[in-house]
Structure 1
């Protein structure tokens, strides 16, 4: 059993900056996504910081990273820095997400300006 969300992700997606935990269980992405879905914001942020420290690359699949940001923002809806970080991630992965990214950037600016 994995002791953290990040450890579970390392087993699924690998990690070149640290050692992959040696566990001897079968891995199913579905179980990881379930764990991610109910993780608290701090645990998700640790996952993002450790496995995707630079928005351009990282060990997490794009859809997992975007889901992680969405879940964090649902738990922390008033943090402009997180909104900008999520927007930056979305902008890097095609025009399909540009409108959502722009909305996050506008919302972050509005929060900072007190609107």
Structure 2
């Protein structure tokens, strides 16, 4: 079975890789969502670092949002993760600026409590 990172890359357009995304994008989407659904936070974070290193990766916005959402649900007290999710939402806003601000605020609260 492919890794979560490989499945994420299958969703990314890459002209230099004519086989990506696969000829069946629906299968790539389904496989990615299935793997993401059952991935632990460490696996999700590794995929994020490998596919979205600088906020400009090709992973579709819906996949980025879902990825960060599931990671944040697994680690609600991880200020670094909450900030990363916030930055990603700001980068693709302004529709999600309110959510991004809430994540940043929660991260600040966690930092001040420790």
Q: TM-score range by the shorter chain?
A: 0.7 to 0.9
The count of aligned residue pairs is 110
Deviation at 1:95, TM superposition (A): 1.8
Q: Does residue 1:40 correspond to 2:40, yes or no?
A: yes
Rounded to whole Å, the distance in 2 between the matches of 1:85 and 1:94 is 14
Comparing 6-15 and 68-77, the one that deviates more: 6-15
Q: Normalized against structure 1, the TM-score is what?
A: 0.82
1:14 touches 1:59 (CA, 8 Å); kept in 2? yes
Rounded to whole Å, the distance in 2 between the matches of 1:25 and 1:97 is 31
1:10 touches 1:20 (CA, 8 Å); kept in 2? no
Kindly report which structure 2 residues correspond to 1:18-57, keeping only aligned pairs within 5 A, or say none: 28=27, 29-55=29-55, 57=56
Q: Does residue 1:70 correspond to 2:66, yes or no?
A: no
Alignment partner, residue 105 of structure 1? 104
Root mean square deviation of aligned Cα: 2.5
Q: Normalized against structure 2, the TM-score is what?
A: 0.83
| Residue ranges of structure 2 left out of the alignment (5+ in a row) | none
| Residue ranges of structure 1 left out of the alignment (5+ in a row) | none
Deviation at 1:42, TM superposition (A): 0.8
Local SS of the residue matching 1:107: helix
Q: In the TM superposition, what whole-angstrom CA distance separates every residue of 1:34-60 from its partner, at most 9, and x where no partner exists?
A: 2111111111111110111011x1021
